[in-house]
């Protein structure tokens, strides 16, 4: 965005950590508040430094995270070192942070960083995709304003759940169900990054990432033959194809769909109610449903979705959508305005966050997709906020925000049911939505419900299916 990095083919070299008052840094730390000593046990303050050649003042709030770190590795010191390294290094291909992949996760984190006290850090985003198309529609639920709230294009306070003989109109209070179009998100985050003047975006494909040899080294990234180096690398490279891991004890399902945004010549949709599930489609041993986001009485996005191990041939999705529109909604005349398709991994395999001392995986690659639903957008925003907080407070992006372990087991049990008995998915979801308030379901899926709430919810689903699934994942070596 602001300038283009130059070509450099240097191999990674070992770097010494810079002393706080090094004359080579180009920076004169004027005063450390509240203490001069970098290993102070004070928990917060401001580092004030002057960049020697420009005379510019830099203010960096810090907290040394004394609760988490020994004094010898306190975040104040790391923060100072990061500042010095960034200012000292005149190699244009050296950054504090490099993002390998520039999709939802990287853009969210970069935008949250430039809006934080770490806004001065030099960052680089590498992605071959220019992100100039509306390639996906993100939906999520929340009770509060979220990052990018200004680009939420629609929100619903009511959802429908439809199955054979069941037609539920659900009040989502205190949540609302929101939608963001990816093109709005890409434009919005790119404009935040551009305005910061600290972030370069380069259209290039990352070929390799090599970790730092030790804590004081930098990681090396090679993209389109160019070598870059950084203190931290966030890796979110992902291509939306079916993900099939190799752990025989894990489930590898895919959420796959074809969605059309259609316009009808007359009023066909109820714009104040989105349909989360319409299960009135032939299941044929696999959990399938149609999901509808009505944007007006004549315009809606309609998606034919499956949770299964194998994908369909493209004409099968199209045929299923046409049949649903005509047979269930009585819509035969419509114009297709946009088309969206996807494959999202649904797996209980744990994706490690750390790919090295200085390499952190984020987004889908970092396991942010909820295994049993395929939702990831809000989880990515929350993860970005936790990473920024951890960098400020502890000097490392590796935060320790984890949901209780039981949610992993719940996900694995549902995946086992969908994997082995896909035809029973309809029964499970119908019980879930018929017998629980939406807020309890959302809290469960957000992994924030209490044990009592979890038990209340589990008591409403066909428990024998879940017990059988639990035994299968607990005692067999293959799922």
Ligand X SMILES: Cc1cc2nc3c(=O)[nH]c(=O)nc-3n(C[C@H](O)[C@H](O)[C@H](O)COP(=O)(O)OP(=O)(O)OC[C@H]3O[C@@H](n4cnc5c(N)ncnc54)[C@H](O)[C@@H]3O)c2cc1C
Q: Using the rule CB under 6 A, is 127 a contact of ligand X?
A: yes
Closest contact distance (angstroms) between CB of 301 and ligand X is: 10
Q: Using the rule CB under 6 A, is 383 a contact of ligand X?
A: no
| 348-377 footprint of ligand X as x/- string (CB under 6 A) | ---------------xx----------xxx
Nearest 5°: phi and psi at 94? Answer: -110, 130
Instruction: Please identify, using beta-carbon distances, which residue of 49 and 93 lies nearer to ligand X.
Output: 93
Q: Using the rule CB under 6 A, is 51 a contact of ligand X?
A: no
Q: Using the rule CB under 6 A, is 202 a contact of ligand X?
A: no
Q: Using the rule CB under 6 A, is 236 a contact of ligand X?
A: yes
Cis? peptide before 34, omega within 30° of 0: yes
| 325-344 footprint of ligand X as x/- string (CB under 6 A) | ---------------x-x-x
For residue 168, list its beta bridge partners.
Answer: 161
> CA–CA distance from 396 to each of 76, 215, 221, 226, 232 (Å)?
11, 11, 19, 26, 9
Q: What is the CA radius of gyration of the chain?
A: 25
Closest contact distance (angstroms) between CB of 182 and ligand X is: 7
Q: Using the rule CB under 6 A, is 184 a contact of ligand X?
A: no
Instruction: Please identify, using beta-carbon distances, which residue of 74 and 355 lies nearer to ligand X.
Output: 355
Q: What is the DSSP letter of 148?
A: T
Distance between CA atoms of 229 and 359, rounded to whole angstroms? 12
Q: Using the rule CB under 6 A, is 186 a contact of ligand X?
A: no
Q: Using the rule CB under 6 A, is 235 a contact of ligand X?
A: no
Closest contact distance (angstroms) between CB of 209 and ligand X is: 10
Tell me the three state secondary structure of residue 234: strand
Distance between CA atoms of 109 and 7, rounded to whole angstroms? 26
Closest contact distance (angstroms) between CB of 275 and ligand X is: 14
Q: Which of 239, 215, 226 is nearest to 98 (CA)?
A: 226
**Helices of type H across 163-237:** 182-196
Instruction: Please identify, using beta-carbon distances, which residue of 88 and 445 lies nearer to ligand X.
Output: 445
* DSSP codes, 314-374: HHHHHHHHHHHHHHTS-----EEEEEEEEEEEEE-----SBSSSSEEE-GGGGT-S-TTT-
Stretch that binds ligand X, among 27-35, 128-136, 244-252, 403-411 (CB under 6 A): 128-136
Q: Using the rule CB under 6 A, is 162 a contact of ligand X?
A: no
Strands lying side by side in the sheet with 45-51: 27-33, 45-51, 57-62
Residues that bind ligand X (CB under 6 A): 100-106, 126-129, 136-140, 205-206, 236-240, 340, 342, 344, 363-364, 375-377, 380
């Amino acid at each position: 965005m602001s300038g283009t990095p130059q070509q450099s083919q240097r191999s990674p070299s070992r770097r010494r950590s810079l002393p706080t008052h090094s004359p080579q840094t180009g920076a004169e730390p004027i005063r450390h508040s509240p203490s001069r000593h970098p290993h102070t046990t004070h928990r917060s303050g401001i580092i004030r430094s002057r960049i020697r050649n420009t005379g510019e003042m830099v203010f960096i709030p810090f907290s040394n995270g004394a609760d988490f770190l020994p004094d010898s590795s306190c975040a104040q010191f790391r923060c100072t070192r990061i500042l010095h390294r960034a200012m000292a290094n005149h190699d244009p291909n050296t950054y504090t942070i490099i993002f390998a992949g520039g999709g939802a996760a990287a853009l969210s984190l970069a935008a949250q960083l430039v809006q934080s006290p770490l806004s001065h850090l030099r960052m680089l985003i590498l992605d071959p995709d220019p992100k100039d198309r509306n390639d996906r529609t993100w939906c999520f639920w929340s009770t509060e304003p979220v990052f990018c709230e200004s680009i939420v294009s629609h929100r619903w306070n009511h959802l429908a759940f439809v199955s054979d003989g069941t037609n539920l109109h659900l009040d989502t209070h205190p949540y609302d169900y929101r939608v963001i179009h990816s093109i709005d998100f890409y434009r919005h985050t790119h404009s935040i990054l551009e305005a910061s003047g600290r972030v370069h975006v380069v259209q290039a494909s990352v070929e390799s990432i090599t970790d730092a040899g030790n804590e004081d080294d930098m990681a090396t990234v090679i993209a389109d033959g160019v070598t870059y180096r950084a203190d931290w690398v966030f890796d979110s490279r992902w291509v939306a194809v079916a993900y099939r891991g190799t752990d025989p004890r894990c489930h590898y399902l895919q959420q796959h769909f074809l969605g059309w945004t259609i316009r009808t010549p007359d009023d066909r949709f109820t714009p104040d109610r989105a349909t989360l599930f319409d299960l009135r489609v032939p299941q044929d041993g696999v959990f399938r449903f149609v999901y509808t986001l009505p944007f007006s009485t004549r315009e809606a996005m309609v998606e034919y979705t499956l949770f299964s191990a194998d994908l369909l041939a493209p004409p099968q999705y199209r045929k299923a959508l046409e049949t649903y529109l005509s047979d269930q909604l009585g819509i035969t005349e419509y114009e297709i305005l946009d088309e969206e398709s996807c494959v999202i991994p649904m797996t209980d395999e744990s994706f490690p966050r750390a790919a090295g001392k200085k390499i952190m995986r984020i987004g889908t690659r970092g396991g942010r997709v909820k295994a049993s639903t395929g939702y990831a957008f809000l989880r990515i925003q929350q993860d970005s906020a936790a990473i920024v907080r951890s960098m400020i407070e502890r000097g490392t992006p590796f935060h320790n925000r984890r949901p209780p372990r039981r949610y992993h087991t719940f996900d694995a049990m549902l995946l086992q049911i969908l994997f082995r008995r896909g035809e029973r998915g309809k029964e499970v979801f119908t019980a879930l939505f018929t017998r629980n308030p939406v807020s309890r379901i959302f809290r469960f899926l957000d992994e924030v419900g209490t044990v009592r709430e979890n038990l209340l919810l589990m008591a409403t689903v066909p428990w024998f299916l879940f017990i059988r699934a639990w035994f299968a994942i607990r005692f067999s070596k293959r799922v």
